[in-house]
Structure 1
Amino acid sequence: MRLLRTTTHPDINNLCGRSFHRQAARGIILNGEDILLLYTERYHDYTLPGGGIDEGEDLEQGLIRELMEETGAANVRNIKVFGRYEEFRPWYKDDFDIMHMESFCFTCSIDNKLGATQFEAHEIQNGMQPVWKNIYHAIEHNEHTMANSDKKGMSIERETFLLKLIVKELLN
Structure 2
Amino acid sequence: MDTLTVLQKRVSSAKLAAPAPSAEQRDAIYRSALRAADHGLMQPWRFLVIEGEGLDRLGELFVQATLHDNPSLSEPEQQSLKAKPRRAPLILVAIAACRQHPKVPHVEQLLSTGAAVQNMLNAAFAQGVGAFWRTGAMAYHPVVTEGLGVGQLEQIVGFLYLGTPAKPPHEPKSVNPETFFQSWPAQ
TM range (shorter): under 0.3
RCO higher in 1 or 2 (8 Å CA, sep ≥ 6)?
2
More strand as a share of residues: 1
Between Structure 1 and Structure 2, whose CA radius of gyration is higher? Answer: 2
The structure whose residues are more often helix, as a share, is 2
TM-score, normalised relative to structure 2: 0.25
